[in-house]
Structure 1
């Protein structure tokens, strides 16, 4: 599990950046250029994330000594950088993309959000209502299910396997809730 998270904390933000970069270019990036961009994003994002960690007092990447919360913080910062970095790289490297193009794109995005937001809210309410319509506790299941899973994971990993994470039940509850939200989206 920790090996997968260790690999993910380095690669996922770069893949996220590459996806956004490809979206900004409307899918017109060649395979060779995608590989080069992936390497550039991999080096750039991890260098910045490691520099921030170093400034905050982490003097090296010792995988055996990393806590789970540190790995998740590293991954989170990497994903934030993975969202911001393609805009900067596109402005610097792509001839087609300009600041004026970003401004036009942002205006169109906010106009479309304003235009389609009522439909999106109505559609989400209808889907969520249909999901819990046949249950006795309705919306309460969305709190009961992660809470029960938190208890099970806390017993298994916290007591049986002796997890040494601070506030482990809250950490598990937050993770399960976020996973449920992302899974339903």
Structure 2
């Protein structure tokens, strides 16, 4: 049994580190959601921020956009040119995707400074892609409402998780300790 642990030590370390970071960040996020005051920034600050930036970008692109607090659920209704096209819920803010990304990078960490800078820059990339995803989804839902299920369930999750996957691959191949051992 000891020989198995020694043989697969790096795999076990990766899994345990990933789970520890993922569970820790998820618990912190759950507390953030539980204790966030939705009176000023509805439904929570981060979702509000993502909604406002999406709205600003849509307005810049010529789509008159409003965000309205949903009366029956904690979400923001996206209204393009007086048409309700989508809602932005807590799951749309990208934080759960960032938690997944960060957990993987820390589990495959490299040098501290490089790991920190990659976490920061990768998080910015994911955040920007998420805003663009919401903007494009809103426009497409406005123009092609009959495609809403396919766009929301297939195309746009593929975009955000595809970007995360590419960032992971880049990290493992360029900066992780695993790659440094093979050089």
TM-score when normalising by structure 2: 0.33
Query: Which structure has the larger Rg?
Result: 1
TM-score when normalising by structure 1: 0.32
Structure holding more strand per residue = 2
